[in-house]
Amino acid sequence: MKRLLTTAILGSLASAAFLPATAFADGHSNASIQLGPRPFWLVDQMDDSELKTKLQACKAGPFTKSDWSIGHRGAPLLFPEHTKESYTAAARMGAGIVECDVTFTKDKELVCRHAQNDLHTTTNILATPLAAQCTAGFTAASGDTKAAAECRASDITLADFRTLGGKMDAADSSATTVEAYMDGTAGFRTDLYAGSGTLMTHAESIELFKGLGVKFTPELKSPSVDMPMDGFSQADYAQKMIDEYKAAGVPASDVWAQSFNLEDVLYWIENEPDFGKQAVYLDDSYDIEGWSPEDESTWDNTMASLKERGVNYIAPPMWVLVKVTDGKLVPSLYATKAREAGLQIITWTAERSGLLTGGGGWYFQTSNDITKNEGDVYELMDVLNKDVGVVGLFSDWPATTTFYANCMGLK
């Protein structure tokens, strides 16, 4: 039975594992890039191929950071997402761009969380007195009813938020106690670094990223509360996020603001045109019943219409961009149409599916039939780069994408 390590033990582990942000004040020296064994282990798992031979030839390095390698919530394969420790790990592994998902607290302060209502799975809030302020407190599993809770950033103030610690995003729905509910980390992840997750405000993440020498891709998350909230409108929210970059003196060319809400992207294009040039539309049309990446008639927006409205970047999940034809991965119609319209493509998320020996799951759903081993992540990556032409790939473990980017000369 797995156990969460104590905060004291993990605190010492974390301090031994990381240099302070000031160590990167010179712009994150390439000498500090450390990939660890995983990328090389993945190459060893690959079937023999020209790609494997090319990747093997890169093993000696040297390795440098690359904007093609994007830290998805930091490095959450092993570190609690959206924490200082996770962000620092992503930068150390050569991610040139790192993501802070942005939501807001009860007093309308911006913080880094994947969702406004995820504190019960990503922090220790249920084990603190702040649990009493949650939208829905913990209820134990009973019979066919699963354990549940809902704690929102908007349930608490920024001062409250600062008292919490980050943990691996997980919950055990069969739990009958809070302790068991919080101890649900997936087997392909770990709690080894989960006892000292330092939560961050959006503004703090900007300063950290500047010190780490990485660029920015904040995602404006959909609120769990009705908007406007106490006079705070969706436009106010979208503007506040951009204003924090302007206040920190960050050039718009270093920021890729994202949203699944097309209206947010169009707001930035109209009201903050410098930032709007690189605003990223996270396309989740795949959630529409009957939608297909091979049938343009099922799409909410054509690629040409998005481009006409000023959208320059589109970001669907990896599986949307590929299909299998005659046993080989090739670009999907969706990918082809996006390129034809002149859209830049970013995609997500490598290293988020766990073991690939069973096909790879949701992120590999259009290539499951030919995904057989852990190294096949590089086969997909190669098609996304060379045939689809993506300009960036999110990863839960950026060492993997940094290694590939370096081998292919992607800056």
With residues binned 3-state (H G I as helix, E B as strand, rest as coil), the percentages for the chain, rounded to 5, are 40, 15, 45
Q: What pLDDT was estimated at residue 344?
A: 98
Burial class (CB in 10 A: 0-12, 13-18, 19+), 236: middle
Confidence of residue 26 (pLDDT cuts 50, 70, 90): very low
Closest CA to 349 of 215, 255, 258: 258
Residue 88 has pLDDT above 70, yes or no: yes
224 phi and psi, to 5 degrees?
-90, -10
Arithmetic mean of pLDDT, 89-96? 98
Q: What pLDDT was estimated at residue 3?
A: 38
Q: What pLDDT was estimated at residue 332?
A: 98
Is-contact 207 112, C-beta < 8 A? no
Is-contact 263 224, C-beta < 8 A? no
How far apart, in Å, are the Cα atoms of 239 and each of 125, 206, 322?
29, 16, 35
Q: What pLDDT was estimated at residue 32?
A: 76
Assigned fold of 26-106+198-407: TIM Barrel (3.20.20)
Residue 29 has pLDDT above 60, yes or no: no
Q: What pLDDT was estimated at residue 30?
A: 64
Residue 183 has pLDDT above 70, yes or no: yes
Q: What is the CA radius of gyration of the chain?
A: 21
Arithmetic mean of pLDDT, 314-318? 98
Arithmetic mean of pLDDT, 333-353? 98
Mean of per-residue pLDDT scores for the chain? 93
Please state, for a pLDDT cut of 70, what percent of the chain lies above it. 92
Residue 6 has pLDDT above 50, yes or no: no
Residue 255 has pLDDT above 80, yes or no: yes
Arithmetic mean of pLDDT, 310-334? 98
Residue 1 has pLDDT above 90, yes or no: no
Q: What pLDDT was estimated at residue 31?
A: 57
Arithmetic mean of pLDDT, 341-347? 98
Distance, in Å, from the CA atom of 306 to the CA atom of 296, rounded to the nearest integer, reads 13
Arithmetic mean of pLDDT, 176-195? 95
Partner residues linked to 70 by β-bridges = 97, 394
Q: What pLDDT was estimated at residue 8?
A: 33
CA dihedral 13, 16, 22, 27 (to 10 degrees): -100
Lowest mean pLDDT among 21-25, 73-77, 105-109, 180-184: 21-25
Q: What pLDDT was estimated at residue 258?
A: 98
Q: What pLDDT was estimated at residue 23?
A: 40
Reported as a single tens digit per residue, the pLDDT across 355-403 is: 999 899 999 999 999 999 999 999 999 999 999 999 999 999 999 999 9
Distance, in Å, from the CA atom of 90 to the CA atom of 68, rounded to the nearest integer, reads 13
Burial class (CB in 10 A: 0-12, 13-18, 19+), 330: middle
Q: What pLDDT was estimated at residue 25?
A: 40
Residue 7 has pLDDT above 70, yes or no: no
Confidence of residue 137 (pLDDT cuts 50, 70, 90): very high
Q: What pLDDT was estimated at residue 156?
A: 98
Q: What pLDDT was estimated at residue 27?
A: 47
Q: For residue 223, what is the DSSP state?
A: P
